[in-house]
Amino acid sequence: MNTETLMGDEAIALGAVHAGLSAAFAYPGTPSTEIMETLQAMAEKGATTADGAKFVAQWCANEKTAYESALGASYAGRRAMVSMKHVGLNVAADPFVNSALIRIHGGLVVVVADDPGMHSSQDEQDSRALAAFARMPCFEPADQQEAYDMTLEAFEFSEKHEVPVLVRITTRLAHSRAVVKVAAKGRAQNPVDKAPQDMSWILMPAVARKRWKALLGKQADFRAYAEERSTLAAASKKLGVVTAGLALQYYRENLEDFVAAEGEAPSHLHIGHYPIPAGKLRELCANVEKVLVIEDGYPVVEEALRGVLPTPIPVLGKMSGELPLDGELNPDLVRAALGLPEREGVPAPGLPPPGRPPQLCVGCPHADSFAALKEALLEYPTHAVNSDIGCYTLGALAPYNAIESCVDMGASIGMARGAAEAGLRPTVAIIGDSTFYHSGMSNLVDAVSHGTNTTVYILDNQTTGMTGAQPTIAPSSRLKDLVIGLGVDPAHVRVLDAHKRSHEASVKAIKEELAHPGPSVVIGVRVCIEAYKKERAK
Amino acid sequence: MKYDIVLCGVGGQGGISVSVVIARAAMAAGLDVKQSEVHGMSQRGGEVLAHLRMSDKPVASPIIPRASADLILAFEPLEALRYVPWLRKGGAIVTATAPLKNMTNYPDPDAVVAELRKIPGAVLVDADALAKEAGNARAANVALVGAAAKYLPLEASALEAAIKDLFARKGDAVVDANLRAFEHGRRANP
Ligand SMILES: Cc1ncc(C[n+]2csc(CCOP(=O)(O)OP(=O)(O)O)c2C)c(N)n1
Ligand code: SF4
């Protein structure tokens, strides 16, 4: 055993390597990005699994392609991991849900990082609900040590039960550090050994029906395992507390004060494995007068506990208002839910500090692209500027006020196209290069095939800036040819220098393309300041 | 024994990276440590925040509860003000005085400083000047750690060792400048 100080993301990366990882795939997304970054940094320094073999750690075009690559590695008999942020799982939902039906061969671990509180996301969906939807087992670590341990455990479970395992973490766990005991060596990789040719990977209806029955049949085993791995400590009969994942720490933080106030600890059930261990929940509730459920994210456990019929004892939690339904959980919220008084601090300052929103870096190419676009649009009193997710989303704020929508990755082009087809003109889609490769291309193909009158403005800063400047899947030099290859008329593919010095030329080109009655693409090229610095620091 | 520190500043100041110095020194002293930060967006200029907790018993929550921090270490005065609700009674604030006014509604800096001065245990230091004196303008964050050193349940030598560790990669000149900045900080709040 060695000890290391690790972020949750790093603990998962190390756990995977010690579990005999052969291949990891990912698309960046806060707070999951550091899992792949850690694996790549390890690989670069020559790290191997216990058998001295190298492992693959690759960025992919999007979460769906990453997921499918991981599936292929499992098919080849090897241990594979795919990691993403919560909304990435929506993109990968098709392979995710269907992969629960196939007979997983090499262990497949799906790490999904949720973002309660939306520190850097557009929603706070809870991946435990998606695991349940796919009838897939889900493990939820309570700290960095468990993040490491459960990654190893998830690979074992996946191979034993021939099913992918979802490991759910949250921003707080992903991005906080603690001391972790790690194995000195770990396990060797599986040899390449193709999945048995028993049709179990061919989800045509006749087979899929059998595989679905097989998955349903496995649920009892999954649940039994969750029952066995959850821990119930009987104490006070007055109150039962259920914690899930990291919420355990917020409960622990307040336990001493609770015992001091009430004379005894609540009876306590901690859940780190799903499907929900219903037996343990019943056991807890049979012995207490009321139960409080503490979980970060959706009230997944609480909702299950409540069902639709009246409960024999009161259930407290997010749905009854003891805890908020939205936002990130914290020790103060849990303190209040436990009925403890607020701690008394120093008097609040008389001057409430205004918030300090993030801004584009000084000299960011996006600022110059917005300036050119705004000027080009001046002659059109009505127009639509649909945008996307990336640093350029800050174009919504002053002083730019340049964009009008941001929904999900790739939506800019689809929305600008749909709005144009519905009669709104002119429409512009503003999209980053990484987002274009992620899910903009297929929307552009739609625009081409229908000859939609819209202008796509690709902000090519040659990186995935928003998430800390990871490389894009294709080099900037190939972007123009790619766009032409998708069928856009080369006369209406314009490459601009995204810099003040070329402002006039950019305005002119954008105006010309706005006037063009079919699909056109404008590419503003200049490297992101952060990416440039990162490259130079190497 | 437990000791909780809120570190706060503005994205791009590089401030909260010094939490590593304190965390390493604490671990070397055999304490359990948890450190939590909210980061991820590359853009500059927003609030950044780290929580650093150390204890001789296992630390539970990665988030410091309100009204429990023993120290607020702030790299910008408005940010110091923002996290006052986390300070426990009798806790200390060590803050840099230079305002970073990258917003249109930044309050009057003198009013910000006046609010901070009202809080018993607040120490305001010109960290930039201390760093310049020490010969490296970029060492302001380490100077600030120096100014907070006397409150920490750690030996100054342990902090110095952690500074050496952290900057070793960047060469002797950077290590020395940071050690000097640390020393200047200590002298500013003896
Ligand atoms: C489905 C999904 N995956 C990942 C993310 C995280 N994310 C937000 S923006 C972005 C890409 C930004 O890159 P780019 O489009 O090139 O714009 P830039 O930030 O460089 O301006 C990513 C990966 C997300 N929001 N949604
Ligand atoms: S990280 Fe790059 S793309 Fe993002 S704001 Fe900074 S310069 Fe612009």
- ipTM, two decimals: 0.95
- The structural domain count of chain B equals 1
- Report how far residue A63's alpha carbon sits from residue A409's, in angstroms, rounded to the nearest whole number: 11
> In a structure prediction context, what are the per-residue pLDDT tens digits for chain A, which is 538 residues long?
788 899 999 999 999 999 999 999 999 999 999 999 999 999 999 999 999 999 999 999 999 999 999 999 999 999 999 999 999 999 999 999 999 999 999 999 999 999 999 999 999 999 999 999 999 999 999 999 999 999 999 999 999 999 999 999 999 999 999 999 999 889 999 999 999 999 999 999 999 999 999 999 999 999 999 999 999 999 999 999 999 999 999 999 999 999 999 999 999 999 999 999 999 999 999 999 999 999 999 999 999 999 999 999 999 999 999 999 999 999 999 999 999 999 999 998 889 999 988 889 999 999 999 999 999 999 999 999 999 999 999 999 999 999 999 999 999 999 999 999 999 999 999 999 999 999 999 999 999 999 999 999 999 999 999 999 999 999 999 999 999 999 999 999 999 999 999 999 999 999 999 999 999 999 999 999 999 999 998 7
Cβ proximity of A363 and A492 under 8 Å? no
- pTM across the whole model: 0.97
A360 contacts on B by Cβ (under 8 Å): 43
Pocket test for ligand 2, best of A30, A359, A364, A472 (most atoms within 8 A of CB): A364
CATH architecture of A365-536: 3-Layer(aba) Sandwich (3.40)
Q: How confident is the model at residue B121 (pLDDT cuts 50, 70, 90)?
A: confident
- Chain centroid offset of residue A65 CA: 15
Q: Find the CB nearest B103 among A119, A253, A356.
A: A356
Give yes or no for a contact between A273 and A138, defined as CB atoms under 8 angstroms apart. Answer: yes
What fold is seen in the domain A2-226? Rossmann fold (3.40.50)
State phi, psi for A498 to the nearest 5 degrees: -80, 70
Q: Residue type for B148, please?
A: A
Q: Which has more confidence, A522 or B103? A: A522
**Distance separating alpha carbons of residues A497 and A501, to the nearest angstrom:** 8
Going across the sheet that includes A520-525, the strands are A384-386, A427-432, A455-460, A520-525, A493-497
Residues framing ligand 2 (Cβ under 6 A): A 360-361, 364, 366, 391, 461, 465, 528-530; B 42-43
Beta bridge partners, B38, equal: B49
Residues on chain B touching A346 (C-beta within 8 angstroms): 67, 84, 87-89, 91, 119-120
Please give the Cα distance from A189 to A175 (Å, whole number). Answer: 28
**CA distance to A48, A360, A476, B26, B134, per residue, from A367 (Å):** 43, 8, 19, 43, 37
User: Do A270 and A230 contact (CB within 8 A), yes or no?
Assistant: yes
Q: Which residue of A has its CA nearest to B112?
A: A351
The boundaries of the domain holding residue B39 are 2-188
Q: How far is B81 from chain A (nearest CA, A)?
A: 7
> Quick one: which atom of ligand 2 is closest to the CA of A394?
5
**Cβ neighbours of A30 in B, within 8 Å:** 40-41
CATH of the domain at B145: 3.40.920.10
pLDDT higher than 70, residue B42: no
Domain range list for chain A: 2-226, 230-337, 365-536
User: pLDDT for B160-171, tens place per residue?
Assistant: 999 999 999 999
Over residues B53-72, the pLDDT tens digits come to 999 999 999 999 999 999 99
CATH of domain A230-337: 3.40.50.920
Identical fold for domains A2-226 and A365-536, yes or no, is yes
Closest ligand to C-alpha of residue A361 is: 2
- Cα-Cα-Cα-Cα torsion B2, B3, B4, B7, nearest 10 degrees, comes to -160
